A = this chain, B = another copy of it.
């Protein structure tokens, strides 16, 4: 058993972390904190009544170090690196769900803010097992990928060396409202998003540089990434439609199946994927179709799980020497 801490327990991803870790056979939650503290977990998340409870502390790195070997940070950008720096210093392994360690320093500071932990940033591993499984196993700091980048990169990855980079890549992404967070905002007022859909931050969302940086690093090519997210009238789930041109005509299903052959959490589908089949799970479902030189890729994940919390526990599994899929949710919220 490995003792783990969760810092940032009040939001959606914090709750999802707790839900997975409660029934995980090898992780034992010993510490839960929020920014304010002094509560019972069931006060924050009443649906856990008669299931699980614990005192919620005001976040304190020293206490984490006393109680846990590994900490999950489900905190806003900027706050996360503050705790990560302290925790790593105290010998606690960290899986950070924020953007703070996902990007190169230059990219981060351009799109976010000044980085206060440049040293650890260099050693952080981007926590996508399909890319970095070996590095994650040895890492003490893993940066959990963003939800949009996860679905997008997993879809495009198998085709990277076939891409005709003269042409731009168009990514039309759609996310459920949990992606906009638990805070009260106009866009997540029921009446505004019900029976509705709209794009937001078109061609300027902060997940776009994450996608671009990763795909360029892997391929060694300059890529023209155009990314537009949309908000959907569903609670959870994410669908990404990617459009790109290849240098030659190939059988995309065959390529996908070969590429993800021995991966536990990617499923290749012969029909267009939907979000319901991945909701509640860590799966990424992928469909692709070619017509002429155009490749259409459709990938689906649960934005809160594969896009955040279950991916974080997968990373913790690997960092702890466990099987990748140990205690990870696989059964979808169907019907």
Interface residues in chain A, defined as those with a beta carbon under 8 Å from any beta carbon in chain B = 12, 15, 19, 22-23, 45-51, 167-168, 170, 172, 174, 177-178, 182, 184-186, 188-200, 202-204, 224, 226, 228, 230, 232-237, 239, 241, 243, 245, 264, 267, 269, 272-277, 279-280, 283, 287, 289, 291-294, 296, 298, 304, 330-335
- Is A334 a contact partner of B15 (Cβ separation < 8 A)? yes
- The answer to whether B196 touches A276, judged by C-beta atoms less than 8 angstroms apart, is yes
Interchain CB contact (< 8 A) of A291 among B184, B193, B226, B296: B226
A90 to chain B, nearest CB (A): 31
CA of A230 to CA of B241, assembled, Å = 10
Whether A199 contacts B272 in the complex (CB less than 8 A), given A332-B47, A333-B280, A335-B235, comes out as yes
Please report the C-alpha to C-alpha distance between residue A204 and residue B272 in the assembled complex, in whole angstroms. 13
Whether the pair B202, A194 counts as a contact (CB closer than 8 A) is no
- 26 A-B pairs with CB atoms under 8 Å apart are A22-B331, A23-B331, A47-B276, A170-B170, A170-B243, A172-B243, A174-B230, A178-B191, A182-B189, A190-B190, A190-B194, A194-B233, A195-B234, A195-B276, A196-B274, A197-B232, A197-B239, A197-B274, A198-B298, A199-B241, A203-B291, A203-B294, A204-B291, A226-B243, A280-B333, A333-B333
Are B241's CB and A197's CB within 8 A? no
Please provide the 8 A-B residue pairs with the shortest distance between their CB atoms, ordered closest to farther.
A198-B274, A172-B172, A184-B184, A203-B291, A170-B243, A199-B272, A47-B332, A47-B277
In the bound complex, do residue B298 and residue A202 qualify as a contact, i.e. CB atoms below 8 Å apart? yes
B residues near A237, Cβ cutoff 8 Å? 195-197
Give Cα A193–Cα B85 distance, bound, in whole angstroms: 38
5 further A-B contacts with Cβ under 8 Å, apart from A191-B335, A203-B291, A235-B335, are A45-B334, A47-B276, A51-B331, A194-B235, A195-B275
A199-B298 in contact (CB<8A): yes
Q: Which residues of B contact A335 (CB under 8 A)?
A: 12, 15, 178, 182, 191-192, 235-236, 304
**Bound Cα distance A334, B203 (Å):** 28
Contact A294 B226 (CB under 8 A): yes
**Residue from A197, A230, A239, A331 whose CB has the most chain B CB atoms within 10 Å:** A197
* Min C-beta distance of A286 to chain B, whole Å: 12
Least CB separation from A276: chain B residue: B196
Given contacts A168-B245, A294-B224, contact A334 B47 (CB under 8 A): yes
- B228–A241 contact, CB under 8 A? yes
Contact of A296 among B191, B192, B226, B235 (CB under 8 A): B226
A235 touches which one: B51, B191, B243, B294 (CB < 8 A)?
B191
Complex CA–CA separation, A185 to B333 (angstroms): 21
| Chain B residues in 8 Å Cβ range of A15 | 334-335
Which chain B residue has the least Cβ–Cβ distance from A208?
A: B291
With A172-B172, A182-B189, A331-B22 known to touch, is A234 a contact of B203 (CB < 8 Å)? no
Q: Are A233 and B190 in contact (CB under 8 A)?
A: yes
The answer to whether A51 touches B330, judged by C-beta atoms less than 8 angstroms apart, is: yes
